[in-house]
Chain A
Amino acid sequence: MLKKTAIHQLSDLTSALMGKGTLVAPVREDAGFNFREISDAKQVDLNFHNTIISPKSVFFPQTEDFIRYRTGRPLQEAETVEPEGKPLILFGVRPCDVKSFEIMDIHFSCTGAVDPYWQARREAATLIGYAFDVAAPAEPEEFYQTLGIGAADPEGSDIFMVRRGDDLILKSITGKGEALLAGIEGLAGASADDGKFFDDTVAAGRNFKTRFTCVDAKAITKKLEDLFHNTDFWEKASNACLSCGVCTFACPTCYCFDICDETLFGRGTRRRVWDACMFTDFTLEASGHNPRTKVYQRLRQKIGHKYSYHVRKYGVISCVGCGRCTRHCPVGIDIFSIVEEAMKA
């Protein structure tokens, strides 16, 4: 199904979507764009390149309560916070971010134990993807193309959107998307020309060039394994690294978390909170032993995990080239440059 709407009527669309479930869409904030739950249809703003924090936070919020309890009271009184299954529409997700959900699914719901919170939200969500502007060059931080993701890939989305001038073309990709699209009134039908434009955009997106040349995941995996003991390489790579958590928090495929108890006045919450392998205390054991006390060890873990360990364990690189880590790194460390350096080393 192919539909379209004028951009200036976007709020009609978003307002209709709000009637179908919780709408999460990009919103302009002080520091830039972010995905937020929409309370006013006019908040949605598609004039963004990409958001500061990836939309993973929609399915995997930075703070997630598991249990609420009272200290000093019988255990049975504790209340489990059950996973949410309410319908959710995630609107305006860039193709690389769409891809990230697939990678996260492997970890959270398709292998080993199932994370019920992720799974419940994912299943209840309809994904509306949104093509990058293929007429403009990619931003210097981005390299999704390197990882085989096009700037306008509709795969993974339930509905995919492409902007054509003052219009927004919407195409359903899955049955779920089709059902949703069919249920929205007031959308105009798209012309064959629009359909061609859509297909052309997708194709242009595939040829879209980002910084790096394509590389073979297997070769990277092997190379990083071989390079593990090359301390000089990692020290050099991490000379500038501050060991903060920006890159991991902004990343769409970083999933590390901490489980902690927060209590006040006898009321407590067991919750998970995003954590970062870049933090010094991430691997600090109760015995005091910490296998990764040095910055280079932590950076090595991060890069190794994304491009090597993850590939061996799950078969895919845990990176979609969205460029957020590079964009937000306070010292301008570029993750894929390190990978390239590694390949040369």
Chain B
Amino acid sequence: MRSTNPYIPMPVEIVKITDEVDTHDIKSFRFKFLNAQDEARFQYLPGQFAELSIYGKGESPIGIASSPTEPGYVAFTVQRAGAIVPGLVTAALHDMEEGGRIGLRGPLGHPWPIEFLEKKNIVVVGGGFAFTTLRSLVTYMLHENNRSRFGDITVIYGARTPGLLCYKDELAAWEKRSDIKTIITVDKGNETWKGREGFVPAVCKDVAPSPANAVAVICGPPVMIKFTLPVFFELGFSKENILTSLEMRMKCGIGKCGRCNVGYKYVCSDGPVFSLAELEELPRDF
């Protein structure tokens, strides 16, 4: 039965699980909708998120890692939350196998502003597992129907160690392409690591993307964001042209439950995507 009730999740089935990192606590899940009309209703753009819902455990808001240019499934990259007391939903999801079924509520929130990004050079900066919606964005932009809508694309992606990089195969594929500049860095390499070493902010400074007609889209752990934002500011990016996605505890995802309220915004329904200019409008309460 199809419900328009925004609190009721749609049933989905896990069709593929990818173990992303060597610590095995980040996995990507591909879901297919069990009802065709749900799939038709789930129209999303990169940057949006959805509530993954497991009965008996609860719901967890997770950014959509797949791109609408990848039909047939919707994907999420999920970290098992909480080192000591595991997050109930993410732990349960991690224990599931292909064929398992959960609920999905969404798409929720605002996407990366695609129209705003069009015809501009895009610098995508990501750290660790927060790369998910950026992966969605890059995949979206690289799609043959979309590539021409955007200018130069530069991806700067870092993780603590080589084993902690997500989407390794895709990164390798991007590195081979000529229509995207891909820079991968790790804080600390290992014997087999041939790539760059260094923290993301430093690498950004090093790469120094031109601010001319460019937008920086940044997602990562708070500490990375904290040090990366000034780099772009110094490079000459305006606050309007620096975009990021905010984290806040959420429950309903539709701007009703009040939990993710920061100033006059609800992160879930007014965000999670904000420009630096918008963020500076908000009280520092997140």
The reply to whether A and B meet directly (CB within 8 Å) is yes
> Which A64-110 residues sit within 8 Å CB-CB of chain B?
66-67, 69, 71, 74-76, 78, 80, 82-83, 107-108
Proximity bits, A296-319, B CB within 8 Å = 1, else 0: 010011001100111011000000
Q: Does B59 contact A (CB under 8 A)?
A: yes
Whether A258 contacts B269 in the complex (CB less than 8 A), given A75-B101, A80-B8, A283-B248, comes out as no
Q: Does A122 contact B (CB under 8 A)?
A: no
- Residues of chain A contacted by B259 (CB below 8 angstroms): 256, 258, 275, 282-283
> Which B110-138 residues sit within 8 Å CB-CB of chain A?
none
B11, B58, B101, B283: most-surrounded residue (chain A CB, <10 A): B283
Q: State the interface size on chain B (CB cutoff 8 A).
A: 44
Q: Does A277 contact B (CB under 8 A)?
A: yes
Q: Does B205 contact A (CB under 8 A)?
A: no
Q: Does B249 contact A (CB under 8 A)?
A: yes
- Residues of chain B contacted by A287 (CB below 8 angstroms): 81-82, 247
Q: Does A345 contact B (CB under 8 A)?
A: no
Q: Does A225 contact B (CB under 8 A)?
A: yes
CB of A67 within 8 A of CB of B256, answer: no
**Which residue of the partner chain, among A78, A277, A291, contacts B55 with CB atoms under 8 Å?**
A78
- Residues of chain A contacted by B58 (CB below 8 angstroms): 259-261
- Using a CB–CB cutoff of 8 Å, the interface residues on chain B facing chain A are 1, 3-8, 11, 34, 53, 55-60, 81-82, 87, 90, 101-103, 222, 247-249, 251-252, 254-259, 261, 263-265, 269, 283-286
- Residues of chain A contacted by B257 (CB below 8 angstroms): 255-259, 272, 275
B8, B34, B53: most-surrounded residue (chain A CB, <10 A): B8
**Which residue of the partner chain, among B6, B101, B251, contacts A74 with CB atoms under 8 Å?**
B101
User: What is the minimal beta-carbon distance from A76 to any residue of chain B, in angstroms?
Assistant: 6
28 contacts across the A-B interface (CB closer than 8 A): A66-B5, A67-B55, A71-B55, A71-B56, A113-B6, A113-B255, A115-B6, A116-B7, A225-B283, A228-B284, A228-B285, A256-B257, A258-B259, A259-B59, A261-B55, A270-B55, A272-B7, A275-B258, A285-B247, A286-B87, A286-B90, A291-B248, A292-B285, A300-B285, A305-B258, A310-B264, A312-B264, A313-B264
Query: What size tier do the contact residues of chain A reach?
Result: 35 or more
- Residues of chain B contacted by A313 (CB below 8 angstroms): 264-265
- Residues of chain A contacted by B283 (CB below 8 angstroms): 225, 228-229, 304
CB of B82 within 8 A of CB of A268, answer: no
Q: Does A165 contact B (CB under 8 A)?
A: no
Q: Does A263 contact B (CB under 8 A)?
A: yes
Whether A286 contacts B59 in the complex (CB less than 8 A), given A66-B8, A305-B261, comes out as no
Whether A116 contacts B5 in the complex (CB less than 8 A), given A259-B252, A285-B248, comes out as yes
CB of A255 within 8 A of CB of B258, answer: yes
Q: Does A188 contact B (CB under 8 A)?
A: no
Cα A291 to Cα B82 with chains together (Å): 17
Closest to A262 in B: B56
CB of B247 within 8 A of CB of A75, answer: no
Q: Does A112 contact B (CB under 8 A)?
A: yes
Cα A287 to Cα B79 with chains together (Å): 10
- Residues of chain A contacted by B247 (CB below 8 angstroms): 285, 287, 289
User: What is the minimal beta-carbon distance from A281 to any residue of chain B, in angstroms?
Assistant: 9
Q: Does A288 contact B (CB under 8 A)?
A: yes
- Residues of chain B contacted by A78 (CB below 8 angstroms): 55
Q: Does A215 contact B (CB under 8 A)?
A: no
Known A112-B256, A292-B285; 7 more pairs at CB < 8 Å: A67-B7, A116-B4, A256-B257, A259-B252, A285-B247, A286-B249, A309-B263
Cα A259 to Cα B251 with chains together (Å): 6
- Residues of chain A contacted by B5 (CB below 8 angstroms): 66, 80, 82-83, 116
Closest to B81 in A: A286
Cα A286 to Cα B56 with chains together (Å): 17
Closest to B256 in A: A115
Whether A291 contacts B285 in the complex (CB less than 8 A), given A113-B6, A256-B258, comes out as yes
Q: Does A240 contact B (CB under 8 A)?
A: no
CB of A258 within 8 A of CB of B87, answer: no
CB of A112 within 8 A of CB of B269, answer: yes
Cα A255 to Cα B266 with chains together (Å): 13
